[in-house]
Amino acid sequence: NNVAVYWGQGASQARLSESCQSDDVDIINLSFVNGFPDNSPGGWPATNFGNACGEEMYSNNGVKTELRSNCPQIGPDIKTCQAAGKKVLLSIGGGSPTNYYINNATSAKDFAEFLWGAFGPQTDEWVAAGLPRPFGDSSIDGFDFDIESLMPDPPFADYESRGYADLINYLKDYCFPAGPNEYYISAAPQCIVPDSHLSDALEHSWIDFVFVQFYNTALCSARTGLTDMAAFTYNAWSDHPSRNPNVRYYIGLPASTEAIFTDKSYYLSPAEAFTIASDYYTDDKFGGIMLWESTYSKRNQICGKEYAYYMKDALI
Q: Is the dihedral of CA 174, 177, 179, 182 positive or negative?
A: negative
Q: Which of 21, 62, 17, 18 is nearest to 43 (CA)?
A: 62
Residue 182 and residue 141: Cα distance in Å, rounded?
A: 7
Q: Which of 21, 19, 24, 20 is nearest to 1 (CA)?
A: 24
Q: Active-site residue 148, yes or no?
A: yes
E-state strands within the chain: 2-7, 27-33, 57-60, 63-68, 87-94, 142-147, 184-187, 209-213, 248-254, 286-292, 301-302, 305-306
Residue 142 and residue 121: Cα distance in Å, rounded?
A: 11
Those residues with Cβ within 8 angstroms of residue 184's Cβ, 6 or more apart along the chain or in another chain: 87, 89, 141, 142, 143, 208, 209
Residue 288 and residue 273: Cα distance in Å, rounded?
A: 11
User: What one-letter code names the amino acid at 42?
Assistant: G
User: How many other C-beta atoms are found inside a 10 Å radius of the C-beta of residue 280?
Assistant: 16
**Of 66, 148, 160, 258, which is the active-site residue?**
148
Q: Which residues pair with 250 in a beta bridge?
A: 211, 288
Longest dimension (CA), the chain: 58
Active site residues: 148
